[in-house]
Amino acid sequence: MDVRMVWRQWLIRHDRVRDALPAVAVTLVAAAATAIGKAGWHEPHWADAVWTALSCLPLVVRSRWPMGVTLLTLAVDLTLIAFAPHIALAPAASLVALYTLATRGSRRTAWIAGIAAAVAITGVYGAAHPEPVLGANSLLRFDFAIAATALGLAVRSRRDHLAQARARAEHAERTREEEARRRVTEERVRIARDLHDVVAHHITLVNAQAGVAHHLMRTNPDQAYEALAHIKDNSRAALEELRATVGLLRQPDDAPGSRAPIPRLADLDTLVAGIRAGGLPVRVTRIGTPAPLAPATELTAYRIIQEALTNTHKHASATQAAVVLDYGPHVLRVTVTDDGRPGAPKGAGSGHGLIGMRERATAIGGTVTAGPRPEGGFQVVAELPLSLAPATV
């Protein structure tokens, strides 16, 4: 198999040699045919072999000019059939040229040339030999011309089919690679959002509680000690969430048992307690009947509330904040507001927080709007589906 592949590649690189091989074969067969007689083998008729070789000479460039080579070889073969009817292999060069034209030119041109050549060869052969035009030998040459054209078209169809199959395989491979790159990018963005949420939230609380402890260290050591305890709890929680997030990157698979528990709305009270311990009063209100939520919806709602309260604590200079969970028939509406002073730089910095909230909501089919309120302060509103539509293939 390897030898065949090497030979085929060598012929593709040396097209002149490939085109000349049929001419050499026809010439050798013609020389051998003239050496066979009734009495056995004898010296070949070299003149007939030379004429056959001359008729095959244009085949050396048959791949470059298939139509010109077909016309030239057909003219030489018809001349030999008419004036040297004893040369048995006269149409052979034309048959090779018709085959090449069928593999290189258009189908319509190949059939027109094949039928015209078959009629011409049959007519000239019938006129040059003492037998009817529709005799067996004449019709045999007609069939040869049609068969050469049909064989060339069949080979071309097979090549086209293989080329299309190869193109489809390459396209499928590129598509798989693009899909893999897309999934890697999405996973990278998701991990970046999780790390941002974890770090920004806990470090903000630690910073605020450290400020409280520093302020109260001399005047009220008990409250300062309490603030330091909150710092310890928040730093430990931050480390645990970071360890869980980074641990996902090291898992060889996505087995459910290998994942750390994800935050839920049931953990909202713990989140709010940490914010309150940092010095920002937060009121939580639930409207409607709480309904079972998809895990992705619960995680998204939790992360949006976490990010909104973290931004309020960092940038709004607010004295209080409010979280409203409104359970509708199909949508959970999450509203986070604060009473920060007008013109306070809410959402300052790189802006990754608001971008992350919108990306999280969009990923599950929800929306997020954020902006200042007319009466002052800032508001974040997220509308998230209670249940997610099944993915379609």
Q: What is the DSSP string of 113-128?
A: HHHHHHHHHHHHHHHH
Cβ-contact 121, 91 below 8 angstroms: yes
pLDDT value at position 379? 92
In a domain, 191, yes or no: no
Please check whether residues 169 and 308 belong to one and the same domain: no
How many other C-beta atoms can be found within 10 angstroms of the C-beta atom of residue 225? 12
Three-state DSSP class for residue 326: strand
Please check whether residues 163 and 289 belong to one and the same domain: no
Separation CA 352–CA 369 (nearest Å):
15
Separation CA 115–CA 74 (nearest Å):
12
Boundary residue ending a domain (173, 193, 226): 173
Separation CA 178–CA 156 (nearest Å):
32
Q: What is the CATH number of the domain that holds 391?
A: 3.30.565.10
Whose tokens are 């009466």? That residue is 375
In a domain, 50, yes or no: yes
In a domain, 77, yes or no: yes
In a domain, 221, yes or no: no
Using one digit for the tens of pLDDT, what is the confidence trace for 139-162?
A: 788 888 899 899 989 988 998 888
Boundary residue ending a domain (113, 146, 173): 173
pLDDT value at position 77? 83
Position with higher pLDDT, 229 vs 10: 229
Query: Is this model's pTM higher than 0.75 or not?
Result: no
Please check whether residues 6 and 133 belong to one and the same domain: yes
Q: Structural domain tally of the chain?
A: 2
In a domain, 42, yes or no: yes
**Sign of CA pseudo-dihedral 23, 27, 30, 32:** negative
CA 123 to chain centre: 57
In a domain, 66, yes or no: yes
Tokens standing for residue 133 = 């035009």
Q: Which domain holds residue 19?
A: 2-173
Paired with 331 in beta bridges are: 385
Using one digit for the tens of pLDDT, what is the confidence trace for 223-243?
A: 777 777 777 776 766 666 666
In a domain, 269, yes or no: no
Separation CA 331–CA 391 (nearest Å):
19
Boundary residue ending a domain (148, 173, 198): 173
Q: Based on C-alpha coordinates, what's the Rg of the chain?
A: 43
Label residue 57 exposed, middle or buried (CB < 10 Å: 0-12, 13-18, 19+). middle
In a domain, 198, yes or no: no
